[in-house]
Amino acid sequence: MGIDSKIPIKLILNPSDKGFSKEFSLFGFREVLNSLLVYYIVRKYRPCVIDIGANLGYYVALEVIAGAEKIIAIEPIPLTYFYLRKNVRTYGNVVTLNVAVADRDGEVNMTVSDGFNLAHVTGESQDAPVYPESNIRVRGVSLSTLIAKLGFQNFKNIMLRMDIEGYEYKVLKDIPKQISLINVELHPRNYDVKEFCQRIVDQGFSIEYFIGDIPFGFYPLINILD
């Protein structure tokens, strides 16, 4: 994607994962436009990033090479978290947490499939299941509790990078004042996007970029052009 890095980037993939791992093994990139946006925004503001739904650490790696001050990489699925820790272990400014960020403190039910990046809080995704699914219970914390436990109460430059398959609608209902930047994947089948965006604006944010990323089917063409 034209991003130069002096830090070697390598992702150990999950051989059981028919989602992100399969896609990344074929092409070596994903979500091209949003990847570039995250990289350049982090490079510009050098924030502390709370990466929610970090998966195997693809965006974490981009945040590292872009110069994020510190990164909290959060992944609730135990097997995915196992690989995430392996992938970020050489980065000195990354902390990992095996929890789900929720709209409340306490355990939450999550649906997990063979496409591990599609894991979501049960009942929060209206997409038709693509892979066989199972349910697990994981520890959940709210954003405000998370910031307090991390000792970030006095921080002013925190960026959220969030991909939680529809649950963002509930999590971002009340955004802590320490957060100044948000990059979130939207799921329009789950809620009214216009109403969701208005709720974010009403909490003091402005919407700078709205991306419809390049469909997966174009990835082979991107490889050829590259």
pLDDT mean values, one per 10 residues, the chain (226 residues) = 80 94 88 94 97 97 96 97 96 96 94 90 69 84 95 92 95 95 95 96 96 78 65
Q: How far is CA 122 from CA 42, 142, 174, 176, in A?
A: 31, 17, 21, 25
Q: Residue 163's closest CA among 117, 195, 213?
A: 117
Provide the 3-class DSSP secondary structure of residue 111.
strand
The pTM of the whole model exceeds 0.85: yes
Helix, strand, or coil (residue 224):
helix
Beta carbons of 157 and 48 less than 8 angstroms apart:
yes
User: So where are the chain's domains?
Assistant: 20-225
Write down the pLDDT at residue 27. 85
Cα gap 118→53, rounded to integer Å: 10
Which residues lie closer than 8 Å to 23 by C-beta, 6 or more apart? 30, 216, 219
Q: So what's the pLDDT on residue 130?
A: 63
Question: What does DSSP assign to residue 11?
Answer: -
Nearest to 168 by CA among 144, 197, 146: 197
Kindly state the tokens that stand for 44: 């510009």
What's the start-to-end Cα distance of the chain, in Å? Answer: 8
Structure letter (DSSP) for residue 72: E
pLDDT at position 69 is 95
Domain 20-225 coded CATH 3.40.50: yes
Question: CA 123, 128, 132: angle at the middle one, nearest 5?
Answer: 85
